[in-house]
Structure 1
């Protein structure tokens, strides 16, 4: 989890490990994650891009999650807190990391197609 978070936030260790691509044996076992968009090339991307897309998809999911208005007020408040906590955990650093990855992998069409599907300005 620490590598996952460091790679997303651009933290220590993200540079060296982030560029690592899967080995042939790892590729043979890799399956792209289920998500809102099919990404058949996902396993061939560098670790920092794989980590970013997974985390960003989760961030976007929670950003769009509605708070039930017709629910019990206490349940609605609990749900609102759950959504806020998930967004606070998953979304910080997303804008800067997206820009960094777009610059770094600008010549990789597969990665640029995936990154191009994300909004560039989601943070306050």
Structure 2
């Protein structure tokens, strides 16, 4: 979502910092996109590792899945609640809530895997 519609993020930054010039807004949007992309990439690598470990029967797959879910939930909570210097949440609320979706998928995977044992 953030890579497709940068306007939501730019509008959120403009609302919080009306004195920012377009170049500063663009730099802030880029910084957020880099952070979200890096976290997303790490999340994908983590969940692919869990899927591989579960497929080959590694005993540590379930604890790794729980650890990744905990980290993802912490990140999603931070995305929804951390306030920046403007007093508003740093990440646009829509984008913050989109961070919860992978957590829901991870929770479902852990619960479903646990119930099939």
TM-score by length of 1: 0.39
Larger gyration radius, structure 1 or structure 2:
2
TM-score by length of 2: 0.40
